[in-house]
Each structure stands twice: as C-alpha cells, then as structure tokens.
Amino acid sequence: MTQAPEEFPPEPPPSRLGETTPSAPPESPRVPAQRLSADGTVTPAPVGPPPPVEMASPTAPPVYQVPPGYFWPRPEPKRSRLRTVVVVMALVASSVLAGALVNGWRPAMPSAETGVIEGAPVAPGEGTIPSPGPDASAPEVLAYLKEQSQLVLDAHAQSLVDGSRDGWLAAFDPTLHGRMTTRYETLRAMQVSRFDYRITSGPLEDSSGAVPLYEIGVAVTHCFAEPADECSPADVVFRTFWRAGDDGMVMVEVENSEGQDGPHPWETDELVAAVGARTVVAAPAHMSDRLQDALEISEEAALNADEWALWETPDRYVVYISGNEEFEVWFGGMFETDDVLGFALPLTGTVAGERQPSTYATVMNVDRTGWGYDLTSVIRHELGHAVTLWGAPSERYANDTWWMVEGIAEYIDHGDRPVDDYDRMWDVGNYVEDGGCSSDIVPPDEDDDTLAGSGKYGCGFLGVHYMIDTYGVDEFAAWFDATARQGESAAGTAEDVYGRSYADLMDEITDFIASTA
C-alpha cells in the first residue's frame, strides 16, 4: 500500500523574535526498535505470533517512526574488540546587504574579509507585483513582501550553488554573517548541488518591537554531490524572520528545523566533508584528522550495500560522523539509551512537485564505536538500512517486521562469513538460554539490558539468515518488499510468498535459532 505524501507543516502561529514556543512535556523513553501507532502510543510486543494487522486507509497521514538504531553487541569474554537557535542580534539603522526593489539590486561587499569569491553574486529579479503605494491594503503589502522574499531566497540559493559567498551572505543581516559563513562552508564542502527554497507560510507581521519583523516559513529541497535534476532530494523546513526597508527584504534570524527530522547536522555545526564515488561523509571540524579514514570505511561499506540494491539504487549515501554531543542534537537526538551507536533516518523530499519518501541520512557516534572495527560494522549496518529501504513508499517497522529490517542490516554487515563468526552469537546464546526467541522475535523495549537488546538483534539476523538460506534471496526480497517497504503485515503476506502461515514460518525460525545459538 502506498500512503499519500506528507504535506508540509501547517502555517505556524505568529511568534515574536527571540521567543520560543512552549514544548510538550517530554515523553517517557522509547527504545529505537519501537514505532509509534496512529494514536501516538507504542504497541506492546505480542506474546505469540502476531495476528493480522489492519492497515490505515490510503488517505490516512503517514505516522512518524523512530528510525532503526544500532545496539552494541557485547564481546565474547575472551575476545578483545572494541532551539531552535535564538540569535541575540543588534538591528542596525544603517544600510544592510540584500534587497529586491523594482529599481534593481546591487550587493555591497561586507566590510569583513570573507575569503575568495569563486563566482559573481547573483541578484534577485524584479518580480511581477508592483511596489505598493502608501494607501495599499495589508494583503497587498504582504503579497509584495512575499514575492520579494522569494526573489531574495532564489538569488541567495543560486549564489550558494555557484560558489559565491558574498551572494549567499547578501540575504542576511550582518549579525548573521559569522554563523551563515560557517553554514556556507559546510554546504560547499558537502558539494551541495541543489538548494531550492519554497515559502510555506507568511509573511506574518510582528509590529510589537521598534522595527516591524516578518515571520516566513520556508522549505529547502536540497541535494549533495549528484546533479540537481537527477538527485534524490531531502526537504528541511524552518522559520525565518525578516526586516523590510528601502534596501529590500533582509533575514535577521534563521531558526533551525525541528520535529521528527531536524535539525540536520549542517544547520547546527561546523562540519568538514569529503566526497567519494558513492558517499558524502561529514564530521565535526574537530575530527578533521580522521575524515579520510571515515571516507574510506564508508566507501567500502557503500560498495557492500550496493549488492543489496534489489529495489532502488541509492544515488549517494550521506554519512554523518558524530560524537556524544552532536548525537544528542542532530535529527532531534531521539535516543535515550547509550547502547545506540548509530541510526539511519528516512527523509522525504519534493519530487515533481510532491513530497515523498526519497532518501536516507545515517549517523554514527564515534565516541561509542571508536575508529576501528566497530565503526566499520555500524556503517555497514546503517547503509544496509538505507539500501533496503531507500524510497520505500510505506515503511513498516512494527512488531512483525522489525526483525526483518534489523536482521537484513545485520546480514549485510556480516557478509559472507560463517554464522559461527557472527559478532552477537555469544549474546544470542545467553539470551536464548534465558528463554528469549523461544516462539517469536519481539522488539527491544525499555526494560531490556544490553544482553537482551543485542540478543534480539542477533535473533533477527539468524531469522533472516534462515529464510534466505532455506527459501532463497528472491522469496525473502519479495516478502521484505511487501511488508517492510510496502506496509503490509507479515501474517497477511506469508501465504502469498511462501505458501505457509507466518506462525509456521516463525516456528521454523525459532527452532533454527535454538539449535544454532
């Protein structure tokens, strides 16, 4: 089943510059493997084989799901391995950069040194709405300001892609130049190839201060490294605040994106980046000396993942390397447990005018993995998620499919090595001895310790290994597509693919786990 593309958020309520919107009370911790149901609750894991699941109607809005997280395998005893940003600003009375009035626009150069300019600044166009007179109505004024803002954003974005730092900075008040120079350099290092703005709300006027400000919500559709007309884009949605004057519209504050897939790392941190044949790898600037190591690991992991591009071939894998500090901020810092070493996050993008599942971002925490074997394993695992779920129209990460999703990522990481060499085998053995995976493979929950969490991932690996080894890759790929990618239930599709009930297949899987672990 294909769900309708998610719409951009509704127009936010007006807010004053510097004020924050009260947030909802924090939810109780949820482990990575759990996904939210339509009413916002977590469905408890079934005791026995899961019954058929009723899917939402095609018109129901998609439900956000916590992305797959990677739990740390415990080593065998004798084996040694290892918001919104509120800008404090001073509004200047003198002329500032940028603008788009009917008499044309010419950027003045910033007084501070901004580096070598690779291309000429791009000037906004003049627009189609005439400048309103003194007796114009509020709607007429706002319509004019909206068009002028879009023109500034278009020129600003083109300057970024063309390599004009001055053209990029021209849209901002000088108080933002330091922060936005960092953003410019990060995006350029990641080889940004598309950065298209669309106004989603506003302008909403706030005249409570000395200078009227206008809140404008924007969505940015962006890509890295791949050609703009061929790439799989991601959308990021955030609020901006503008000042209108004789010199045009100027941004005086830019908030970071929030919610289920924000902020993106390039919004919050100074990053260094390297681009290979299959990956874009970015890391905090203080990790610059290890960037080449991360690129080499990621490139090898991407080639390994590409062997499993059975549905769509990712155009480019984006790999972010973080430490603990960044891990708690990037994409909402959604994990409460220190056992999670990395995650893969599905992102939506605007394709042919419609927002739809499009690409993936992956994040690895090197403060937890180190730079050796464990980092390699986590990157291979997370790119396994990306390649198997890339562009999936209706991802299903529920009690009956989570073991397939995590199991195939573990399978891709493990590669052609014998089952006995599987890193989590010791955990699986201990977990099975404690009664785990006796009749089903249930997802981790908040009560699991590291043994249980890792053991359940291991059961997922063994389940996928059994299904592929016994019935073949093609059959498993068809089942995975119908369930994890298309959103149907495992019980409702098992008969179609295998001619056997889900309960019978799970009996076979758990018998194999018991005999192998």
Give residue-wise pLDDT tens across range 262-282. Answer: 899 999 999 999 999 999 999
Q: What is the mean pLDDT of the chain?
A: 80
pLDDT at 517 over 60: yes
Task: Please report whether residue 404 resides in a domain.
Answer: yes
What beta strand segments (E) does 45-168 contain? 69-71
> Which helix H or strand E contains 515, and what residues bound it?
helix 502-516
- Mean pLDDT along residues 452-481: 96
Token digits for 245? 């004057």
Domain assignment of residue 492, given as a range: 30-44+395-517
Q: How many CB atoms lie within 10 A of CB 129?
A: 14
Q: Comparing 88-97, 174-183, 391-400, which segment has the lowest mean pLDDT?
A: 88-97
Give residue-wise pLDDT tens across range 35-60. Answer: 233 333 333 333 333 222 222 222 23
Tracing tokens 């916590």 back to the chain, one arrives at: 66
Residue among 176, 202, 206, 172 nearest 16 (CA): 206
- Mean pLDDT along residues 240-269: 91
Rounded CA separation 122/275 (Å): 26
Give residue-wise pLDDT tens across range 4-26. Answer: 233 444 434 444 344 444 444 33
Give residue-wise pLDDT tens across range 427-460. Answer: 999 999 999 999 999 998 888 888 899 999 999 9
Residue among 182, 211, 184 nearest 195 (CA): 184
Task: Please report whether residue 186 resides in a domain.
Answer: no
pLDDT at 246: 78
Task: Please report whether residue 289 resides in a domain.
Answer: no
pLDDT at 120: 59
How would you class 178 by CB atoms within 10 Å of its CB: exposed for 0-12, middle for 13-18, buried for 19 or more?
Answer: exposed
Residue among 269, 260, 457, 486 nearest 392 (CA): 486
Task: Please report whether residue 174 resides in a domain.
Answer: no
Number of domains in the chain: 1
Give residue-wise pLDDT tens across range 361-414. Answer: 999 999 999 999 999 999 999 999 999 999 999 999 999 999 999 999 999 999
Task: Please report whether residue 334 resides in a domain.
Answer: no
Higher pLDDT, 416 or 288: 288
Task: Please report whether residue 410 resides in a domain.
Answer: yes
pLDDT at 485 over 80: yes
Task: Please report whether residue 431 resides in a domain.
Answer: yes
Token digits for 479? 């089942």
The answer to whether 259 touches 10, Cβ cutoff 8 Å, is: no
Asked if the peptide bond before residue 9 counts as cis, ω within 30 degrees of 0, the response is: no
Helices 402-414 + 473-480 axis angle, to 10: 140
Task: Please report whether residue 510 resides in a domain.
Answer: yes
